[in-house]
Amino acid sequence: MEKQELHVGDKKCNIQKLDLTLLNMLYEKAGTCVSREEIKKNFWPTDDNANEKIDAHIKSIRKVLKEFQEYKLITVRGKGYYLRIP
C-alpha cells in the first residue's frame, strides 16, 4: 500500500488507487464478508450514488484479478463481498 502498487507473485498489476484501497480493505478482512454499507461508510458516506460507485469499483477489481484464478472476489447476495485468497 505504501507504493500504491499491486503485485501478485512477480507480476505488477495496473489498478486505480481507489480500487487498490478497496481491494486492500477486502484483503485485510479476507474470508470475512464486508457489507456494502461498510464500504459505503468508508468511501462514500454521504454520496447518493454510492451503490453505483461500489458496483463500478467491484467490477474493475474483478477485471484486475481475472487472470489470477486463486484470488476471487465473491458476492454474498444481500450482504456484501469477500475476497478468497490461497
Which residue bears the cell 495496473? 14
Among 9-13, 27-31, 51-55, 65-69, the range with the most confident prediction by mean pLDDT is 51-55
pLDDT at 20 exceeding the cut of 70: yes
Return d(Cα 51, Cα 28) in angstroms, integer. 22
Please report whether residue 85 resides in a domain: no
Please report whether residue 2 resides in a domain: no
Report yes or no: 57 and 19 within 8 Å, Cβ to Cβ: yes
- Name the pTM for this structure: 0.86
| Between residues 81 and 30, the one the model is more confident about | 81
Q: Which structural domain, as residue segments, surrounds residue 13? A: 9-75
Please report whether residue 3 resides in a domain: no
Give the range among 21-25, 30-34, 43-47 with minimum mean pLDDT: 30-34
Please report whether residue 80 resides in a domain: no
The total number of structural domains that make up the chain: 1
Q: Which pLDDT score, from 0 to 100, does residue 14 have? A: 84
Please report whether residue 84 resides in a domain: no
Band (pLDDT 50/70/90 cuts) for residue 68 is confident
Helices 36-43 and 17-28, packing angle to 10 deg = 130
